[in-house]
Structure 1
Amino acid sequence: MMTISLEKKLWLPDGQPPGNTITKTVKSPERLCLYRAEWYDETLAFFNEFDTLVLRQGFYVVLDFSDLKELTAAASLMLFAKVTRCQCCVPKVFAYPGAVVSYILPEDKAVRDVFRKSGLWAAIKPGGESKLDRLWNDINNPYKTGNDPSSQMGAIIEQLLKQVGKLPRKIVSALQESYLNIAHHAYEGFKGGPVPLHEFMVGRWWQFVKWNPKANRLSLVLYDMGVGIPDSIRPISHAVEQKVSDCASIALAMKSGVTRFKIQGRGRGFNDIKSPIDANPSAEYLLVFSGNGLVVYRSGKKVEEKLHGFSIGGTLIEWTFSGVGK
């Protein structure tokens, strides 16, 4: 068992963090995975537990991954997002906010190497916004977060081109539309709420690029913690149906001509977001998690939907392609 802690100067002699001296350990399930229904709920429960302990109850946390056997792409991105939100949005009770999360790494060497070699550790290690800014200087790290697509889009495309070479058709326009929708609209529903939106979270998105050069397989995963598609499109969907599930709301957003946002010049709905799947023979699928719903889209048709017990806490989109690249 290997424990990753902070620099010694951040810890008291008895091993307790400074400030609030109470630390809670949260044990990870054996699999952190959003793709399989049997693992989805316990994955979300784990994320929600440590998120609540830090941001609502004011505890330091140790995330115990010792029994972890599998960490999949979308779950690793959510881990990055949840941890960095804790590190950058903690209450003032914490003397060292960047030290709010520490880790026990997996005993399984292959899974431990996922943390060390994939760029994940550099993304979730103790630190705050300056650590996240440094990720932009590491073109080889596939984990990125930002809130200014106009200035950051160039770096994203540069990274993709360096890693993958030739990109799937229309993926750049799909990413641009997704970033702009997040920046302009995803967090609008929180304005005027009882708890002000933290400055760090305004327009915030997280991204992970998984590239397997041996298989020529590419996955791009994008996550935001906004209000989600169902809550933003329900005013439109209610004109069609009296009661609409989260899956039905996502499916409605995917229909041609339906836009999530009623603002002139903004919001092309899912036309741009779906287009890489329709335009590339190499496309495998588009996954859209939002609210409690999941919709899977392949080549012009919705092929699967699933209503889960836990909300994704925003929207997560994944495009996956095979047989692409250099």
Structure 2
Amino acid sequence: MALLKEDKRVLIDLRYVESATAAASLILFAIVNRAQLLKGSSDYATFRLPHRERNPDGYRWIVKTGLARALKSGSRQKLEELSKDQNFFQSSDQPSEHVFKTIAMLQSKAQFNTPQLRLLAGGITEAALNVSHHAYDDPAYQDQLEIMGKRWWQCAWFDPESDTVFFIIFDLGIGVFNSLRSGTSAASLPSSIQEEVSVLNDSFKLGVSRYKDKPERGRGSEDIKSPIHQNCSQMEKLLVYTGRASYVYSKYGESVGGAAGHLVQYMPGTLVQWQLSPNRRGGNDSDKHS
């Protein structure tokens, strides 16, 4: 929120950054881009970037990944251009349209088999719809929504060396705790990390939904978990961070705990990350795990 409170242009110096995780890069993109959109200026934040020769590692993480370009995409038109050019970093507030583009981009590079592609599409669609239906369901966001919509930010790419697909989606909304604890405001904090962990754990139980009067709801968590197969490789996993809680799902099962070891401070909104190994053997074996 500090960026939004500034009445002058902000300079962010990244020249000496030598490495950056995809999740951290995406969070930076989201926070900067939100400020740019709400301030109505792509030039609201300016950047000093790593030099190719003086800091080759930093240049690779910040510039070659497309993060630098994304950080300068402070308008709807420039964000649409990121999608058109298949930049790793993108943003949208249109689930049905943008999810289709994302799946097509990943499939063109990773070549999932049909069952696995269907499960991945279902998981990404559910995550995007969660943003649209729940993430900003609080009066505190009304003014923001009129300008930038129910927006999420994402990072998606295929690493051919490890034969692994990564997809991360992040929103700056109320988070899982406030979404499931009806009556709490976006500004409220749970009394303890243990309370957050408990709520996040409950959110991944079949049948749990904020719509308690609609028993047919509550299958979204299964859609989000379904791209991770029971017979998947050790590389595959689902990670969810929200507030001060984290959730991990892999071939070894699921675990929920405090995210203090991963996150320095309270995580606004919700971050969901899939790490997948494309299964090219074909057939319908993957249907067993849908």
Q: TM-score, normalised by structure 2?
A: 0.81
1:85-116 CA-partner distances (Å, limit 9, x unpaired): 111112xxxxx721111111135212112222
Query: In structure 1, what is the Cα distance between the partners aligned to 2:90 and 2:82?
Result: 6
Listed as ranges, the gaps of 5+ residues in structure 1 are 1-50, 91-95, 237-241
Aligned identity (percent) is 31
2:126 alignment partner AA: E
Map of 1:43-54 to 2, 5 A cutoff? 51-52=1-2, 54=3
The higher relative CO (CA closer than 8 Å, separation ≥ 6) is in 2
Query: In structure 1, what is the Cα distance between the partners aligned to 2:134 and 2:195?
Result: 21
Counterpart selection for 1:163 from 104, 109, 127 = 109
1:199-255 CA-partner distances (Å, limit 9, x unpaired): 24432111101321011012110101111101112359xxxxx98521221111111
Query: In structure 2, what is the Cα distance between the partners aligned to 1:274 and 1:177?
Result: 10
- 1:162 Cα deviation after fit: 1.3
Counterpart selection for 1:273 from 224, 230, 252 = 224
- 1:280 Cα deviation after fit: 5.3
- 1:150 Cα deviation after fit: 1.9
Q: Secondary structure in 1 aligned to 2:174?
A: coil
Q: Aligned pair 1:302/2:248, yes or no?
A: no
- 1:262 Cα deviation after fit: 4.0
Q: Aligned pair 1:59/2:8, yes or no?
A: yes
Q: Secondary structure in 1 aligned to 2:236?
A: strand
Listed as ranges, the gaps of 5+ residues in structure 2 are 184-190, 282-290
Q: Secondary structure in 2 aligned to 1:209?
A: strand
Q: CA RMSD in A?
A: 2.6
Q: Flag the 1:323–1:178 CA change in 2: closer, same or farther, 3 A.
A: closer
- 1:306 Cα deviation after fit: 2.2
Contact residue 95 and residue 129 of structure 2 kept, 8 A? yes
Per the alignment, residue 293 of structure 1 pairs with 245
Counterpart selection for 1:208 from 151, 155, 169 = 155
Query: In structure 2, what is the Cα distance between the partners aligned to 1:174 and 1:194?
Result: 26
Per the alignment, residue 234 of structure 1 pairs with 181
Per the alignment, residue 205 of structure 2 pairs with 255
Contact residue 187 and residue 202 of structure 1 kept, 8 A? no
1:115 alignment partner AA: I
Query: In structure 2, what is the Cα distance between the partners aligned to 1:222 and 1:174?
Result: 11
Q: Flag the 1:210–1:136 CA change in 2: closer, same or farther, 3 A.
A: closer
Per the alignment, residue 98 of structure 1 pairs with 42
Q: Aligned pair 1:220/2:164, yes or no?
A: no
1:23-64 CA-partner distances (Å, limit 9, x unpaired): xxxxxxxxxxxxxxxxxxxxxxxxxxxx51x31132311111
Q: Flag the 1:77–1:194 CA change in 2: closer, same or farther, 3 A.
A: closer
1:113-141 CA-partner distances (Å, limit 9, x unpaired): 222221222211254221111112113x1
Q: Flag the 1:325–1:55 CA change in 2: closer, same or farther, 3 A.
A: farther
Q: Secondary structure in 2 aligned to 1:99?
A: coil
Per the alignment, residue 114 of structure 1 pairs with 61
Runs of 4+ with >6 A deviation: none
Contact residue 205 and residue 223 of structure 1 kept, 8 A? yes
Query: In structure 2, what is the Cα distance between the partners aligned to 1:232 and 1:246?
Result: 12
Per the alignment, residue 271 of structure 2 pairs with 316
Contact residue 175 and residue 242 of structure 2 kept, 8 A? yes
Map of 1:53-92 to 2, 5 A cutoff? 54-90=3-39
Contact residue 73 and residue 210 of structure 1 kept, 8 A? no
1:72 alignment partner AA: T
User: How many aligned residue pairs are there?
Assistant: 262
Q: Which shifted more, 176-185 or 110-119?
A: 110-119
Q: TM-score, normalised by structure 1?
A: 0.72
Q: Which shifted more, 225-234 or 125-134?
A: 125-134
1:254-300 CA-partner distances (Å, limit 9, x unpaired): 11221244474655241111111235513621111011211222236
Query: In structure 1, what is the Cα distance between the partners aligned to 2:141 and 2:85?
Result: 38
Query: In structure 1, what is the Cα distance between the partners aligned to 2:141 and 2:92?
Result: 25
